[in-house]
Amino acid sequence: MGRNRCILLCIFLTIWSAVSLSSQTVHGRAGIKLPAPPQAEAIPVSDDYFGIKIADSYRWLEDAKSTETRAFVDAQNAYLARYMKQASIRPDVVDDLDALEHVTRWWLPMQRGGNLYFKKRLAGEDQASIYVRRATPARSSTVKPGGAGSEAGKDVRLIDPAQLSRDPNLSVDLEDVSRDGSLLVFAVRQGGADEATLKVADTKTGKILEDELPAALYRSVSFTFDGKGFYYTRSNRQGTLLFRHVVGTLPSRDSLIFGREFHSEELGPTDLITASVTDDGRYLVVRISRGVPARRVDIVFRDLTKPDTPFEDLVWGTDARFGAEWVKPTSASKGSWIVRTDYHAPKGCILKADPGILPDVWTKIVPEGPDVIEDFSVVGGKIYVRKLKDVQPILSVYSLDGKSLGQIELEGMGTASTLAGRSTDRDGFFSFESTIAPPTIYRFNTVTGKREIFAQTKVPFDFSQFEMSQIFYKSKDGTMVPMFIVGKKGLKRDGSERLLMTGYGGFNVSETPVWNPAFAWWLQQGGWFVLPNLRGGGEYGEHWHEQAMGEHKQNTFDDWFAAAEYLIEHKYTSATHFAITGRSNGGLLMGASITQRPELFGAVVCGYPLLDMLRYQKFLQGPQWKTEYGSSDKEDQFRSLLKYSPYQNVKAGTSYPAVLCFTGDADTRVDPLHARKMTAVLQAASTERPILLHSSAVEGHSSGVGAEQQIQDDADQLTFLWTETGR
């Protein structure tokens, strides 16, 4: 765009933000009136895809740093502010969310050196800190406790992000702790960015050492067995590399251990590497995931007692996914590799692996069954397997040779974590939560099978007033799809109540009921909350995922539309009162809802979305997702993508629902250009209902913004959805 045009556009948008230049009025619900939205200039660019010309009128909005784009974003944020200023419920929403969000909460602990290390955020704080709870003699597990005394049994704050920066959107994450508990590595993240800086701290003094690895996309961190250094993997556009850092040395001297040129097959930019050291320090295990989600996973290992030897293959070149744990030798048994895989087992199985032998002849420990095996761990010499039975969690226990030892008791519908711990730990930890129950963390004794509450989040939410049920409905092609429905007991079903539905349906991710303060607020107001388990997820294993990959992606959307039709037909709500929200791949789902079935919904929040599916692979981490979606660079895949790509399927003159696109400059995973371009094309096509953009400097894909920022963000979204689904 030329300089003169840029100046004129900036002047126009600045004037628009102060006064309305049009007599046209956009009508929101609850009496909200807005002038016509800021007009983004259409400057068509034409692309030729295999003889088909596709026009893109807002290509210029892809340049995030241009003066024109910044002016567009500023004007859109001003337009959003006009809306929120008229929304009378917003102050009450903020107050309610403050009570739900500003509570003390914990993260799963990590056991090292007889102590527990974990994150905790106190009520009223913006960010979680890293704590240690030093062991008392009675809690000693496998290592003699260190630091016991006046601090034993108490939570001692080690790393406080408020001491690192005055910025409330700077957060810390616990990456790993050395075996003896003397050192820890933590990540420092700015806002919602995926990239972070790695730092090292002394756990006895809390002093942060001079070691600092610069901001990058780190995928794994694992201390060496002696605690003198750590292995880490770091990704960039060229791919992922594995390094070893020695504590007290400069990062520029870190040793490259594994990467593109370190194996018989060259690794590409979409091959993602993670690495870990086994519990006994014997092996360095490297896991290579081919694409996101991985279409294939290779695992190699190096015997660290012979550091100059090459890596050996545990599994290589098999088109399936694998995850492995090494169980060290005991007086009663030899060491063994325990592997979870979907090889010839779409719902998963667990095998005992032998390096150098094909998986076909590995010993079955837990064979494939009717329930999906999502994950496993080896704690206290037993195998703990997390399963889904019709999207409801099960934690099963097995001996190392596969004998069933029962289950860990859970509270029914909800989400359970895998038991966290090491193969030699006596105690493990797991969490459980649901839409109507905040997270509780349990300590589980692997010897006695007893559990006790380690930490429990307390919120002003009376779960006894609410009930959650699960139903199954028929999708377009006859597939039965499960769906969770939550509401106040006795809530009427005459089509007059508001309903909020969220979904995802992709990347083999299972969507289970979790606690979310924003959803809790919606329930407290008397609205329904619904979560359908769409194809594309992992709720029923890899077959469920494959049914909505690539050219089959429409199945995700059809499952979603069928859920909406079921809820309207059974009078949970009506289209006028129907609110939907989704993020990332779920944002793509929102885009398809807007363009394919706009008559079904009253209001849409489209968060951090993928919307221009012809160009997504050209930006940020997009190239990794060609496994899931395909790419417009291939003719057959282009034609499939064009059919549903939301940005290309907006049609002028269509009556679209109210839409709020939500993004931020700190999203380094899905480029914010999608939200900007979609806002512009929707505003040009439809002026009946509000089309809004929320774009800030700190928001991004990763969690990391402070509690106060989260409250304000949630308040904007809930205010919009509640207002636009009113009568």
Tens digits of residue pLDDT in 682-703 = 999 987 899 999 999 898 998 8
Token pair listed for 716: 């904007």
Give the bridge partners for 283, in sequence order: 303
| List of long-range contacts for 58-67, beta carbons under 8 Å, 24+ apart | 58/676, 58/677, 58/680, 58/681, 60/1, 61/673, 61/676, 61/677, 61/680, 62/615, 62/619, 62/671, 62/673, 62/677, 64/665, 64/671, 64/672, 64/673, 66/1, 66/6, 67/6, 67/10
Confidence class for position 151, pLDDT limits 50, 70, 90: low
Smallest CA-to-CA distance from 500 within 563, 588, 421, 429 is with: 563
Question: Which backbone phi and psi does 12 adopt, to 5 degrees?
Answer: -60, -50
Torsion of CA 512, 517, 519, 521, to 10 degrees: 150
> What is the percent of the chain with per-residue pLDDT over 70, rounded to a whole number?
94
Same domain for 600 and 717? yes
Q: What is the DSSP letter of 24?
A: -
Instruction: Please check whether residue 381 lies inside any domain of the structure.
Output: yes
47: in domain: yes
What does the pLDDT read at residue 146? 36
pLDDT digits (tens, 9 = 90+) for 615-626: 999 999 999 999
Amino acid at 531: L
Better-scored residue on pLDDT, 520 or 236: 520
The confidence score (pLDDT) of residue 262 equals 60
Shared-domain flag, residues 581 and 710: yes
Amino acid 255: pLDDT? 95
Query: Does 584 fall in a domain?
Result: yes
Structure confidence at residue 238 (pLDDT): 85
So what's the pLDDT on residue 147?
A: 36
The token duo for 130 is 């890293």
Cα radius of gyration rounded to whole Å, the chain: 26
| Residue 58 within a domain | yes
Q: Are residues 713 and 575 in the same domain?
A: yes
Contact 460, 540 (CB under 8 A): no
| pLDDT value for 269 | 86
- Tokens found for residue 117: 């290390």
Asked whether residue 328 is domain-assigned, the answer is: no
* Lowest pLDDT segment from 84-88, 262-266, 527-531: 262-266
Mean predicted confidence (pLDDT) in 254-264: 78
Q: What is the pLDDT of residues 3-59, one digit of tens each?
A: 444 444 444 444 444 434 444 789 899 999 999 999 899 999 999 999 999 999 999
Mean pLDDT of 543-562: 98
pLDDT of the residue at 137 = 57
**Percent of the chain whose pLDDT exceeds 90:** 87
pLDDT at 4: 46
Which H or E run includes 473? strand 466-474
Q: Cβ distance 657 to 603 under 8 Å?
A: yes
Decide if pLDDT at 665 tops 70: yes
Task: Count other C-beta atoms under 10 Å from residue 55's C-beta.
Answer: 11
> Residue 332 — pLDDT band, cuts 50, 70, 90?
low
Please report, as a single letter, which amino acid is at residue 148: A
Domain annotation covers residue 326: no
| Distance of alpha carbon 584 from alpha carbon 606, whole angstroms | 8
| Least confident stretch, 2-16, 24-38, 260-274, 520-534 | 2-16
pLDDT of residue 140 exceeding 60: no
- pLDDT for the residue 638: 98
Q: DSSP readout, 217-265?
A: EEEEEEE-TTSSEEEEEEEETTEEEEEEEETTS-GGGPEEEESTTSSSS
The tokens describing 122, both together, are 């106190």
Could you say which of 432, 458, 484 is where a domain stops? 458
Q: Do 82 and 90 form a contact (C-beta atoms < 8 A)?
A: no
| Shared-domain flag, residues 454 and 571 | no
Q: What is the average per-residue pLDDT within 84-108?
A: 98
Closest CA to 35 of 45, 46, 47, 27: 27
Q: For residue 541, give both structure tokens.
A: 């294993």
User: Based on the domain organization, do 579 and 444 belong to the same domain?
Assistant: no
Show the domain range for 571: 3-100+567-724
Choose among 172, 161, 175: nearest CA to 125: 161
pLDDT tens-digit map of 372-427: 999 999 999 999 999 999 999 999 999 999 999 999 999 999 999 999 999 989 99
Same domain for 580 and 447? no
Higher-confidence position of 331 and 654: 654
Q: What is the CATH number of the domain that holds 588?
A: 3.40.50.1820
pLDDT at 266: 73
- Judgement on whether residues 716 and 571 belong to the same structural domain of the protein: yes
Backbone angles phi, psi at 664, to 5 degrees: -165, 155
Mean pLDDT of the chain: 93
Tell me how far apart the alpha carbons of residues 344 and 361 are, in angstroms, rounded to a whole number: 12
Bridge-based pairing state of the strands 105-106 and 110-112: unpaired
Can you give the pLDDT at residue 611?
98
- Is residue 265 over pLDDT 70? no
Between 24 and 358, whose confidence is greater? Answer: 358
Helix and strand element counts for the chain (H, E) = 12, 40
- Kind of pairing between the strands at 322-327 and 336-341: antiparallel
For the chain, give percent helix, strand, coil, nearest 5: 25, 35, 40
Phi and psi angles of residue 103, each rounded to the nearest 5 degrees, phi first: -130, 160
State the first-to-last Cα distance of the chain, in angstroms, to the nearest integer. 44
The answer to whether residue 583 is domain-embedded is yes
pLDDT, tens digit, for every residue of 286-311? 999 999 999 999 999 999 999 888 99
Rounded to the nearest 5 degrees, what angle is found at the Cα of 58, between the Cα atoms of 55 and 64? 140
Residue 601 sits in the same domain as residue 718: yes
Among 437, 458, 479, the domain boundary falls at 458
Could you tell me if residue 198 is inside a domain?
A: no
Q: Is the pLDDT of residue 330 over 80?
A: no
Residue from 259, 273, 374 nearest 624 by CA = 273
Residue 589 parent element (H or E): helix 585-596
pLDDT, one tens digit per residue, over 45-69 is 999 999 999 999 999 999 999 999 9
Q: Are residues 441 and 573 in the same domain?
A: no
Whether the predicted pLDDT of 490 surpasses 90: yes
Outline where 102-230 has alpha helix (H): 161-164
Our count of domains for the chain comes to 2
* End position of a domain, from candidates 458, 483, 502: 458
Note whether 579 and 697 are same-domain residues.
Answer: yes
Count of other CB atoms within 10 angstroms of residue 399: 12
